[in-house]
Homo-oligomer: A and B are copies of this chain.
Amino acid sequence: MVAYGEFRSGYGGDKEDTRMVFFGLRYILETYLLRQWTIEDVEKSEKFYRTHMAPAMTSFPFPKDLFLRFIEKHDGYFPIKLEALPEGICVNAHVPVYQITSTGEFAPLCTYLEVILTMIWYPTTVATLSRRARDVIEAAFEQSVEGGAVSPLVPSRLHDFGFRGCCTVEQSVLGGVAHLLNFDGTDTLSAAYYAQFELNDGEPIGVSIPATEHSVMTSWPSERDAILNMISHFGSGIFACVMDSYDYAKALAEVVPSIAQAQKGAGGYMVLRPDSGDPVEAVIAALEAAEKVFGVDTNSKGYKVPRGCGVIQGDGIDLQKLSEILAAVLEKGFSAEAVAFGMGGGLLQKVNRDTMSFATKLSHVVYADGTPADIMKTPTGDSAKISFPGSLAVKRVGGVPTVFPAEGGHVALEENLLKVVYDHGPIQNTWKNFKQLRQQVAQEWAALPKAADVVSEPLAEKVAKVRHDRHI
């Protein structure tokens, strides 16, 4: 049996831009697939399945014999072959991202691990969202910042605030690392640690700055005292202060001017952080306060850059709001470099399997009598849910990863982007380190057309033939 996994749409159902950053398979592979089953595991499972059933029934079907057999035959490794796209590749929607093959007595186990593999939707969706945010930020930089889209400031413009909004620590690692493919800025330390020590040979991947949260501001006798303390420790570098503990407008009008001289004396860069109210208005208010208190320089593109002061908006940020804020900032004549963003739940939690419509579908089966059949799902009225028939391969056509039937000689082994990463046990995989992955993502994302027909001629013919033969 053969099954494959596919994102059936671009981010948020976008038809104009169906690109994605494929990421996260290594984690799933190393954490779950490389785990060897033991006889004790099978006995525990049997005990569980015997009791997990509606009252009228006897027991939940569990192929215990097959599990015991692969423990013996494959040293406890799950008996499937898994092919997958390389980590960090950019493809358009509908390109299979993995393919599972099971054969012989183990054929029925093909989709047994479907649930675990399907979870690839998460890191891929976060990596894609974060990359799209980078597109928006780069466009605003191109228009309003010296150095444009390649300014060294870009990688710190979207900071990951999502740790506490995650469901679990495991999620924070996976989602946080996906974001780090596109940006440096993160307070999701679990992910920064994992990226640095597990995926990048100990070389740092993430950055952050000292920043106050409300408890720091409110535990000082006044906000002014809290900020002066920050200046005394970090004033020559860069630091952020949250400004809405009591009254945001008053803090901008009275507290910021009262610390201006100390901050100018320290010579560093202070970041004002609004945290409630309308995000667009809150950012503009902070920029206007910065202009008034610290002054601005006008850059060669004609935009104002506040001196030694900027803003980070970390409340209520999603892709849409980020675009709105940047549009308003530029409209008011400020340069995009004066604003950074923090995205929390919007980055790591407010996505789901439907965001890019991920599914695993069976595509090929060989019956007990040896007859092969290519199969597909074709629900009427929902053409996006149609699945491809047969074993599949992916190769670049004019640079664009395109789907072919695996058989028929269309795709040579070395051209196939679906590489075997596991085969009834571990195989030798070469993983790029994280810095290399980042470079690959940046290059491939820019080079890939925003939308493309990824179905090759031979596959289209096959789809038509299967539909005809099976009258579907």
- Measuring CB to CB, which residues of chain A are less than 8 angstroms from any residue of chain B? 1, 3, 32, 44, 48, 51-57, 60-61, 111, 114-116, 118-119, 121-122, 156, 163-171, 174-175, 189, 192-193, 196-197, 204, 206-210, 214-215, 218-219, 234, 237-238, 244-250, 268, 275-277, 344-345, 349-350, 352-354, 361-362, 365, 373, 375-382, 385, 387, 472
Contacts and interface: CB of A to CB of B under 8 A. Distances in A.
Contact of A207 (B54, B189, B244, B353): B54
Contact of A380 (B57, B219, B246): B246
B156 A118 contact: no
Contact of A219 (B164, B206, B373, B379): B373
A32 B169 contact: yes
Q: Which of A48, A192, A209 has the most CB of B within 10 A?
A: A48
B167 A377 contact: no
B345 A349 contact: no
A74 to B, nearest CB: 22
A193 B380 contact: no
Contacts of A192: 48, 52
A361 B122 CA distance: 30
Contact of A48 (B32, B196, B238): B196
A214 B365 CA distance: 13
29 contacts: A32-B169, A48-B196, A52-B189, A52-B196, A53-B207, A54-B208, A54-B209, A54-B237, A56-B268, A57-B210, A60-B208, A111-B215, A119-B166, A119-B169, A122-B167, A166-B167, A167-B168, A168-B174, A169-B170, A215-B362, A219-B362, A244-B379, A245-B378, A246-B377, A247-B379, A247-B380, A250-B380, A275-B379, A277-B382
A170 B169 CA distance: 8
Contacts of A55: 207
Contacts of A209: 53-54, 57
Contact of A375 (B218, B268, B349): B218
Nearest to A353: B165
A167 B171 contact: yes
Nearest to A472: B246
A206 B52 contact: yes
Contacts of A277: 381-382
A243 to B, nearest CB: 10
Contacts of A61: 210
